[in-house]
Amino acid sequence: MRFYEYESKALFARHGLPLGKRALARTADDARRAAAEIGGPVVLKSQVLSGGRMKAGAVKFADDPAQAAAHFDAILPIVVNGQKSCGVLVEEKSPIAQEYYVGVTWDGRRKLPVVIFSDMGGIDIEEVAEKHPDHVSKTHVSTLLPFTPRVAKEAIAATGVTGNDLTRLTPIVAKLVEIFFQYDLTLAEINPLAKLADGRFIVLDGHVDLEGDAREKHKKLLDELGIKPEETRQARPPTDFEIRGAQVDASDHRGVAGNVVEFDGNLGLVIGAGGGSLTLFDAVRKHGGRPANYCEIGGNPSVKKACALTKLVLSKPGVEKIAVMMNVVSNTRVDIVARGVVKGCVESGRDPAKTIAIFRIPGSWEADGFKILEKYGVEFCDRSVSMYEAAGRAVAKMGK
Amino acid sequence: MSILIHKDTTVIIQGITGREAVNMTREGLSYGTKIVGGVTPGRAGRDVYGVPVHDCVRDITKRMRVDGSIVTVPAAFTRDAVFEAIENGIKLVVVVTERIPRGEVAQMVELAKLRGARIIGPNCLGILSPDEAKMGGLGGRAEDAKKAFRKGPIGVMSRSGGMTTEICNTLTAAGLGQSTAVSIGGDAIIGSTYAELMPLFEADPETKAIAIYSEPGGRMEAELAEWVKENRSRLPIVAFMAGRFMDEMPGMRFGHAGTIVEGKADTTADKIERMRAAGIAVAERIEEIPALLEAQMRKRGIH
Amino acid sequence: MAGMFIDVKVDPKVAGDAALAKKLVEVCPVNIFAIDGTKLRIVEENLDECVLCDLCVQAAPPGTVQVIKLYES
């Protein structure tokens, strides 16, 4: 879960990382006031959950408060890589001597955190790693040993940095690693970390990603930063349909009927589980079908939950039919899902036989499940019909 | 033969009195697994389907050999339970629990490495060696597991628990049984990746070929491709790649915790290219896997 | 609202037995039984959640509790 730059900096500030004077502006007036308070030239940066702000024109420099207000109005409406702005950070402009990069993230292969450091900051680190590998160091950190600053020192020194720069940079990099561990981050990045004309170092830009599964653990921090539980912080903001999907999942602790993602097709999908849903969504598209949604059921959801998800999908305008499909199940029960989807159709005022294009969930308690479907005239198939074939049958029923 | 577990493997279940664990105990026993004890702190003296419950792992390991442990406790207690298993000398730990922050997973993995233990999972359904034993919920009830899994020459590894059963069911229907099926887990950091399990299959004379289920996200497929090239593996591999639609939707999470496209290396297109370059056949549909396996085995003269 | 898929019938004698009623409430994993005062009540909106575990049937004297699959009739 990505933090905005201003939230990341608020977190950095709590831990004493060096930062410039700054304030978040939600209106042009805010921007004017912030620039006046800071005094002197400022930089205005649109707050979006994406990189590439500079290229998009969402970063501007202002010499006085009036210009700051004008720039605010110019950059706030700019959408960067599909992400809208939530405000503009007004920050003092600093005289820069050199830019560095420091990031802490997970190395999935070594299964350890890795500190990435470069004395060529300010640009895309992957590009630097490709073109100037000798200017980038990668240093792994143990998760069992207590963390001490020598790892930070080694990471910096590996790029040839020495003297006062090394001793001044070490505590900054060490602090970033500590923050990474303390808040279960998946990324903590400062880019650029700037050396000023007077030799001091300052965090110019940076951002952090918090692990989704650690949100509950760090609820206090999120509350204090004003990040609400319903903010998904994905590549695009959630739609109403997706928010209602999350409510269905939260309404009952038994099983999962979640991760609902909206698409603009006419075939509703009640599919599962994690891997099965990916496989089935591909299969529907391969057959030329147009899914109305993605979702994942699993972990043996209650009848009530399967019913509520079915009703949600059927409530979406343009959804003509639903396909109910999963891989061979062992934990989730066929009969329970069958009850839920049939009930969902009936409670939506639809005939299950005409609404359910195909039911393909073989496995646990399938004999009872198939009896239910038979009684309501729903077309179903057992494990002798592949997931791909079942998806094809559903798509064939949709016509053109 | 099989890898990791067989008929005589002795297993304990940590968190045995939990709702899912009780099921797992009954399913495991009826499949023939030697479940010799369970642990739930404060519940010593009880039993679950005849399996005695203890307060500590030590209470069992001091009296008998324990080969493996299934950990199915709430996420907040999982690291502690895994540490307890490893520090009491257990060499195979299957972590079923999901939603464990990866910092804690990394600690479990680092300790396991220090002690020479192996972790499968987290966020997995476990291991099943047909006609031998099963650890975890894979395959469900014994009668269901017997429908989908049969003994044979194919080693199976999958990032999805449900798709492990689906693939084995397809193989079984085509007359190809399995040596061992491993649900390796859906998280970004897991105890054992494809490449880390390959040497075990490689050393198992009964295993003649490998089928894997893969997804977007992570570097596990690239790591497998490199391993195959560097080690000149004798085993032909067929991979099924799900989530191809995700290539067009960077930054959106679908499926498991580890399934997200953040960079080019996360895409299915990149993974497919790397695997094909290493001689791994990539299936577009599950039902193509048996024929692709047979063709690969024929080509290499494996019977 | 009766169940669409499952019905549970309890002999009136059992329903009036406070101890047995309490036992039925305890064993059912999906809360199909409740007690109003001393009298057993079937929670109709939970009937369709029945997982066919048979624990209620086993808890009562033979034949006094019946779980009926409405989709089999």
The domain that holds B189 is classified in CATH as 3.40.50.261
Q: How far is A143 from chain C (nearest CA, A)?
A: 41
- Torsion angle, CA of A386/A387/A391/A393, rounded to 10 degrees? 20
Mean pLDDT for the stretch of residues A252-274? 91
Task: Measure CB to CB from residue A184 to each of B103, B219, B284 and give the nearest one.
Answer: B103
Domain enclosing residue A25, as ranges: 21-92
A85 and A105 share one domain: no
A50-84 confidence digits (pLDDT tens): 888 999 999 999 999 999 999 999 999 999 988 88
Chain A residues closer than 8 Å to B251 by CB: 234-235
- Residue B1 is assigned to a structural domain of this protein: no
Mean pLDDT for the stretch of residues C28-46? 91
A304 and A167 share one domain: no
A125 and A56 share one domain: no
**CA A285 to each of CA A203, A394, B230, B244, B246: distance values in angstroms, whole numbers, following the listed order:** 46, 11, 37, 10, 12
Mean pLDDT for the stretch of residues B193-213? 97
Q: Are the beta carbons of C49 and A303 separated by less than 8 Å?
A: yes
Q: Find, in chain A, the residue whose alpha carbon is nearest to that of C6.
A: A339
Helix (H, G, I), strand (E, B) or coil at A393: helix
Percent of chain A whose pLDDT exceeds 90: 85
Q: Does position B96 have pLDDT exceeding 70, yes or no?
A: yes
- Residue B125 is assigned to a structural domain of this protein: yes
Mean pLDDT for the stretch of residues C10-32? 89
Mean pLDDT for the stretch of residues B112-119? 98
Q: Are the beta carbons of A303 and C71 separated by less than 8 Å?
A: no
pLDDT confidence of residue B44: 95
pLDDT confidence of residue B131: 96
> Which of A46, A61, A92 represents a domain boundary (last residue)?
A92
Strands C6-10 vs A88-92: parallel, antiparallel or unpaired: unpaired
- Residue A1 is assigned to a structural domain of this protein: no
A215 and A292 share one domain: no
Percent of chain B whose pLDDT exceeds 70: 100
- Residue B147 is assigned to a structural domain of this protein: yes
Chain A residues closer than 8 Å to B140 by CB: 329-331, 363-364
> Which of A167-181, A206-220, A325-339 is predicted least confidently?
A206-220
pLDDT-derived band at C15 (thresholds 50, 70, 90) equals: confident
Q: Does position A126 have pLDDT exceeding 90, yes or no?
A: no
A181 and A219 share one domain: yes
Amino acid (1-letter code) at residue C15: A
Domain ranges of chain C: 6-72
**CA B33 to each of CA B8, B81, B108: distance values in angstroms, whole numbers, following the listed order:** 8, 21, 25
A318-327 confidence digits (pLDDT tens): 999 999 999 9
- Residue A5 is assigned to a structural domain of this protein: no
> Which of A172, A192, A225 represents a domain boundary (last residue)?
A225
Question: Average per-residue pLDDT in chain A?
Answer: 94
Chains A and B: how many Cβ contacts under 8 Å?
168
What kind and span of H or E run contains B149? none
pLDDT-derived band at C1 (thresholds 50, 70, 90) equals: low
Q: Does position A158 have pLDDT exceeding 70, yes or no?
A: yes
- Whole-structure pTM value: 0.92
pLDDT confidence of residue A83: 85
- Residue B3 is assigned to a structural domain of this protein: no
Q: Are the beta carbons of C71 and A372 separated by less than 8 Å?
A: yes
Mean pLDDT for the stretch of residues A124-139? 90
A69 and A47 share one domain: yes
- Residue A74 is assigned to a structural domain of this protein: yes
Q: Are the beta carbons of A346 and C4 separated by less than 8 Å?
A: yes
Mean pLDDT for the stretch of residues A127-156? 94
**A282 alpha carbon, distance to own chain's centre:** 22
A189-230 confidence digits (pLDDT tens): 999 999 999 999 999 999 999 998 888 889 999 999 999 887
Q: Are the beta carbons of A327 and B165 separated by less than 8 Å?
A: yes
- Residue A308 is assigned to a structural domain of this protein: yes
pLDDT confidence of residue A218: 94
Domain total in chain B: 1
Domain enclosing residue B295, as ranges: 10-299
Chain A residues closer than 8 Å to B285 by CB: 283, 386, 388
Q: Does position A171 have pLDDT exceeding 90, yes or no?
A: yes
Count the alpha carbons within 13 Å of B266 in the hemisphere toward its beta carbon.
20
Question: Average per-residue pLDDT in chain B?
Answer: 95
Q: Are the beta carbons of A333 and C49 separated by less than 8 Å?
A: no
A388 and A244 share one domain: yes
DSSP B223-263: HHHHHHHHHT-SS-EEEEE--GGGGGSTT-B-SSTT-B--S
pLDDT confidence of residue A353: 97
Chain B residues closer than 8 Å to A381 by CB: none
Give the residue carrying structure tokens 């039902």: B287
The verdict on A284 touching C (C-beta cutoff 8 Å) is no
Amino acid (1-letter code) at residue A341: V
- Residue A372 is assigned to a structural domain of this protein: yes
Domain total in chain A: 3
Q: How far is A214 from chain B (nearest CA, A)?
A: 6
Count the alpha carbons within 13 Å of A151 in the hemisphere toward its beta carbon.
22
What does the buried/exposed string (b/e) look like for A306-322 if buried means 16 or more CB atoms within 10 Å of the residue's CB?
bbbbbbbbbebeebbbb
pLDDT-derived band at A297 (thresholds 50, 70, 90) equals: very high
B249-286 confidence digits (pLDDT tens): 888 888 887 888 877 889 999 999 999 999 999 999 99
Chain B residues 179-218 within an 8 A CB cutoff of chain A: 186, 188-189, 193, 213, 215, 218
B6 is catalytic: no
Q: Which of A339, A346, A364, A380 to mutate to test the interface with C (most CBs of C within 10 A)?
A: A339
- Residue B268 is assigned to a structural domain of this protein: yes
d(CA C71, CA B47): 37
* Contacts with A178 (C-beta within 8 Å, 6 or more apart), sequence order: A15, A147
Q: Does position A180 have pLDDT exceeding 80, yes or no?
A: yes
The verdict on C5 touching A (C-beta cutoff 8 Å) is yes
Q: Are the beta carbons of B162 and A111 separated by less than 8 Å?
A: no
Task: Measure CB to CB from residue A339 to each of C5, C30, C72 and give the nearest one.
Answer: C5
Of B238, B83, B112, B228, the closest CA to residue B171 belongs to B238
Query: Which chains pack against C, by 3+ Cβ pairs within 8 A?
Result: A
Amino acid (1-letter code) at residue C28: C
pLDDT confidence of residue A316: 97
- Residue A233 is assigned to a structural domain of this protein: no
- Residue A11 is assigned to a structural domain of this protein: no
A260 and A391 share one domain: yes
Q: Which of B95, B165, B248 to mutate to test the interface with A (most CBs of A within 10 A)?
A: B165
Q: Does position B111 have pLDDT exceeding 60, yes or no?
A: yes
Contact C67, C56 (CB under 8 A): yes
pLDDT-derived band at A400 (thresholds 50, 70, 90) equals: low
pLDDT confidence of residue B303: 74
The verdict on A364 touching C (C-beta cutoff 8 Å) is no
Out of 3.40.50.11810, 3.90.120.10, 3.30.70.20, 3.40.50.300, the CATH code matching C6-72 is 3.30.70.20
The verdict on A295 touching C (C-beta cutoff 8 Å) is no
Mean pLDDT for the stretch of residues C1-12? 91
Q: Are the beta carbons of B263 and A387 separated by less than 8 Å?
A: no
Mean pLDDT for the stretch of residues A348-352? 97
A103 and A79 share one domain: no
Chains A and C: how many Cβ contacts under 8 Å?
27
